[in-house]
Structure 1
């Protein structure tokens, strides 16, 4: 009986060794979660989509998109134009999950009850980097409405996680922070002048703060030393101005349109274009 048991143990060990070797040679994309499969992390989950035809090895640019109020990663992925607008540009698209449908504020004296969003998003990014090779120089956080508010918060309090930020139709809520601990950032904001949900230049109906006040905070952090100048966006709906003369070398850009609270699917991909065209060293 002992001999049979020894042979059985040896067989199990060989099976495990063979399985381990198979896992080693499989491409990263085979092992990774993504698409309809949730990537579980502490505090929640996220969905992810890699570019079609990716070789499983080449480092990927990263776009993390924060959905709006009562949205979801699954709802985001149903917007195929938005997802493809990122993956067709050769980047990984990631959609995190907001508990009970909305993102909490971050920061001392500003944090809301519930999940610590700074801890959660760090867990997401750590997991993404574990599963996919990421080009650390090409990382972007984008989002819409309350998700854009999350982008502003992440830029302000966890600004080391991304190279650039592209919020759309949302800024700080309830109060502006006195300062942003993580320092200067690259940020491009899009907003509608007819937005009745998140007002552009006054306190909104849900206590959203005026977007120009947020820009004033970032301008001070960046050490802006010159006036803004008009720039072409490549999108006829947008009128954009840029502040690119600063002590930090970081770039701010504000793009306005005449419509209301909306986000055409292609604007997230255009945010990635903006990131990839930032000056070296910014």
Structure 2
């Protein structure tokens, strides 16, 4: 079953007038409907043992686990390599898009197979009400805008203590609203992560502005034909649907990348056209880190290279880039965080 058929069924149940209207209403900071990656695999997340179509292999090793943070039970899906290597292992925290769930993020990205080949742990956290607090401003639905940042810290701390995750090699990755969440964690907790990647997600601006506070290697992958949240950003978002999170304004993909380049004191950017996409690289200077922007020319609001069919209204699913392989190679190429930084990362306890 394709994502499109799943979204159509949900649209009919909830009384939405059509998938196209829903798709165009989706954004990094808003939506009332599933994003790409949403399908009938919600049951898989509950069971924690479903097969991922994009992995092409059973996910029987995945477990659905819980963590109590600030008095709230939070859930996540954990994938561990079948044959654990010696010593601590790199950890990828993968944030799903709005309206989706951990199993759908696993399916959309195919991260399990690619991470296994690199000996990485992958944690797929689950958002409250299927949306991440990617912006810094409180809202009626989310009075504590820091809750998801603390959840991320607590999750990392738990996996370092219990699953031999390497605190010096913690990476955050996300799609759409989850991509903005990954950028927020990197911006506000630069000593927690050794690298961050956002696909189809930008930095919030306006009341919810998030500003990078230190050097972090960052890659942003964006579709040049994204009709949901254009590559140029969303300066004046429309009103939020009743009962939903407000729609956030965002910087452009380039301005989001440039903000991290400025915080990391990189050199001037170099434009490097490639087949199917344009690469902008802010090269690192002495003691700094790289920032990259990849704009996939024929991609919409999608994860380029995915096998999952995007809903109508989200633009084309490009095959010009193997996003998952590119993302993990970029992260693995980055130097681990200094031991002193890892030691100073906020230590959380289950509460």
TM norm structure 2: 0.62
Between structure 1 and structure 2, the one with the greater Rg is 1
- Give the alignment of 1:1-282 within 5 angstroms: 35-42=62-69, 43=72, 44-55=74-85, 57-79=86-108, 81-107=110-136, 110-112=137-139, 113-114=142-143, 116-175=147-206, 177=209, 179-181=211-213, 183-203=214-234, 205=237, 206=247, 207-230=249-272, 236-246=275-285, 248-258=287-297, 259-263=299-303, 264-265=305-306, 266-278=322-334
Task: State the SS of the aligned residue for 1:228.
Answer: strand
Q: 1:134 to 1:281 in 2, by over 3 A?
A: closer
**Contact 1:229 1:243 survives alignment (8 Å):** no
Instruction: Tell me: higher relative CO, structure 1 or 2? Use CA pairs within 8 A at least 6 residues apart.
Output: 2
Q: 1:38 to 1:210 in 2, by over 3 A?
A: same
- Work out the CA distance in 2 between the residues paired with 1:240 and 1:157: 25
- Work out the CA distance in 2 between the residues paired with 1:127 and 1:280: 19
What is the number of equivalent residue pairs in this alignment? 243
Deviations 1:69-102, CA, capped at 9 Å, x for gaps: 1111132344583322212221101101100010
- Work out the CA distance in 1 between the residues paired with 2:75 and 2:210: 31
- Work out the CA distance in 2 between the residues paired with 1:222 and 1:76: 29
Q: Structure 1: 5+ residue runs without aligned partners? A: 1-33
TM norm structure 1: 0.76
Q: Structure 2: 5+ residue runs without aligned partners? A: 1-60, 238-246, 307-321, 339-351
Task: State the SS of the aligned residue for 1:224.
Answer: coil
**Contact 1:106 1:157 survives alignment (8 Å):** no
Q: 1:78 to 1:218 in 2, by over 3 A?
A: closer
Q: 1:106 to 1:158 in 2, by over 3 A?
A: farther
- Compare the two structures and name the one with the higher helix fraction: 1
1:37: how far off?
A: 2.9
1:249: how far off?
A: 1.2
Q: 1:145 to 1:226 in 2, by over 3 A?
A: same
Task: State the SS of the aligned residue for 2:269.
Answer: coil
1:174: how far off?
A: 4.6
